Amino acid sequence: MCGLLFRNDNRRMTLKSRRTFLKATAAFGVPALLTSRGARAKDAWPARPIRCVVALPPGGGTDATGRIAMAALSEALGQPIVVENKPGAGGTIGSDIVAKAAPDGYTLGIATSSSHAAAPVFRKDLPYDPVKSFTAVTMIGTTSYILIGGPAAGAKDLSTFIANTKAKPDKVACASLGPSTLGYLLTQQFELKTGLKMIDAPYKGAAQVYPDLMNGTVAVMLDNPSGSAGLVREGKLTGFAVTRPSAAVPDVPTFDSLGVKDFTDVFWYGVVAPPGLDPEIAARIQQILAKTLKAEPVLSRLRQLDVEPVCSTPAEFGATMATETRQWKELADKLGIKPE
């Protein structure tokens, strides 16, 4: 009889314990079992391949820089990273794909000054907030701008190009990656500083511009050396000037040294993820890239593209995006450019 009472009492205690346990976990708003599963999932990351969206076509500076960074990250994580090119609208289409993906650590994106700082200047209907719609992971690095040209430029140095172009306003075609990019905005600033009036010829990606520069379809483009430095070194394109000294094209002078003052802006590349990514995953990615991108042989590969590694923390990168969005808005107001 005593044994039976013990079993009954034990059963009542078990039921009571279950009710107490459920009340306790409910008070925290998250079931203990789910919390445990979430912790295990985070600890196991990455358990499958990761995709990285590059919002511009293959062959340009953003694509090349992004692939170098993702190759280094993939090797460190021991998981494949599949790079997907999703070009269009100056990088905003691919960026929107990242913004709307699940924040599980299996979708990353390559952000740029254009897609996450300049785009709000030009587009009223931008489908994402460049800061709030993403988790800032790290800035990969920065690069200068270079004014490159082909036979249609009719010159081999900056002063001759400026003089020739001034003589025929609205006749010289200048390629850009569309009116939602930083390159387009800085081209407008360059025209204002030099008194030029050129025709904008929008393209989806820089790799599509280079053949047209070489065959004379368009005259010039304000580009990043990461995509065009090799063509300049080989003499297939002329490098007129850079916004800062470039290790990739060391013989090309700066705009400042040639009399175009205060034209020193740079372009950055970074890694972002959907909003809500676990901070520990973001920190892990940043720490891996900070170690690998600043060490050989990856460092030399980046510098060949004129990319100087930065590898800022998620907080620092987020602050940079917010600051530059305001900065480019101020420049657009000065140039009289309104979002459309």
Q: CA 304: distance to chain centroid?
A: 18
pLDDT of residue 29: 44
Residues of the chain with CATH 3.40.190.150: 49-143+267-335
Please classify residue 326 by burial: count the beta carbons closer than 10 Å to its beta carbon, then call 0-12 exposed, 13-18 middle and 19+ buried: exposed
Name the amino acid, one letter, at 39. A
Question: Tens-digit pLDDT profile for the chain (340 aa)?
Answer: 333 232 333 434 344 444 444 444 444 444 444 444 445 556 799 999 999 999 998 988 899 999 999 999 999 999 999 999 999 887 889 999 999 999 999 999 999 998 898 888 888 889 999 999 999 999 999 999 999 999 999 999 999 999 999 999 999 999 998 887 889 999 999 999 999 999 999 998 888 999 999 999 999 999 989 889 999 999 999 999 999 999 899 999 999 999 999 999 999 999 999 999 999 999 999 999 999 999 999 999 999 889 999 999 999 999 999 999 999 989 888 888 888 7
Half-sphere exposure of 17 (CA within 13 A, CB side): 6
Question: What distance in Å separates the CA atoms of residue 304 and residue 309, rounded to the nearest whole number?
Answer: 12
Q: Characterize 136-162 residue by residue with b for buried, 16 or more Cβ atoms within 10 angstroms of its Cβ, and e for exposed.
A: bbbbbbbbbbbbbbbebbbbeebeebb
Tell me the fold of 146-258: D-Maltodextrin-Binding Protein; domain 2 (3.40.190)
Please classify residue 330 by burial: count the beta carbons closer than 10 Å to its beta carbon, then call 0-12 exposed, 13-18 middle and 19+ buried: exposed
User: What separation, in Å, do the N-terminal and C-terminal C-alpha atoms of the chain show?
Assistant: 85
Instruction: Count Cβ atoms below 10 Å from residue 296 Cβ, excluding itself.
Output: 7
Nearest CA to 246 out of 259, 230, 270, 269 is that of: 230
Full DSSP string of 86-124: ---GGGHHHHHHHHTS-SSSSEEEEEEHIIIIIHHHH-T
Please classify residue 252 by burial: count the beta carbons closer than 10 Å to its beta carbon, then call 0-12 exposed, 13-18 middle and 19+ buried: buried
CATH no. of 49-143+267-335: 3.40.190.150
pLDDT of residue 88: 85
Q: What are phi and psi of 199, to 5 degrees?
A: -95, 130
- The residue written with tokens 């009542």 in the block is 12
| Beta strand residue intervals within the chain, DSSP E | 50-54, 81-85, 107-112, 135-143, 146-149, 173-176, 199-202, 220-223, 238-242, 267-273, 308-309
Nearest CA to 116 out of 267, 315, 332 is that of: 267
Residues of the chain with CATH 3.40.190.10: 146-258
Longest distance between any two alpha carbons in the chain, whole Å: 112
In degrees, to the nearest 5, what angle opens at C-alpha 226 toward C-alphas 93 and 249? 155
